[in-house]
Amino acid sequence: MLQETVFESVGRRIVDGYLEGYNGTIFAYGQTGSGKTYTMLGPAGGQDILGAQAHLRGLIPRAVEYVFRKLDEKNDEVTFYRTSLLSSFLALIFYYEF
């Protein structure tokens, strides 16, 4: 399945809801090596992929780009959004809030 297909079939409607003020969660769960990180970020350095390899970007970089593109289109409104990212690895939990 293509990364763009994953975003279009799963991510876009969740992000659209988020932009309308609803809570949204995208959750990847599975066995080690099953492709969770690739799906969420893309290949190593996926968040920084540009140009000819942009099609490899994962769900998170696509969602962030989509959010900012939509906010730019609504430039007449003042809006506040809060986003967080939670990652768990080997019983360690990493929490990021933006």
42 is in an annotated binding site: no
37 is in an annotated binding site: yes
34 is in an annotated binding site: yes
45 is in an annotated binding site: no
35 is in an annotated binding site: yes
DSSP 7-73: IIIIIHHHHHHHHTT---------STTSSHHHHHH-STTGGG--GGGGGG--HHHHHHHHHHHHHHH
21 is in an annotated binding site: no
Residues at the binding site are 30-37
Residues at the binding site for ATP are 30-37
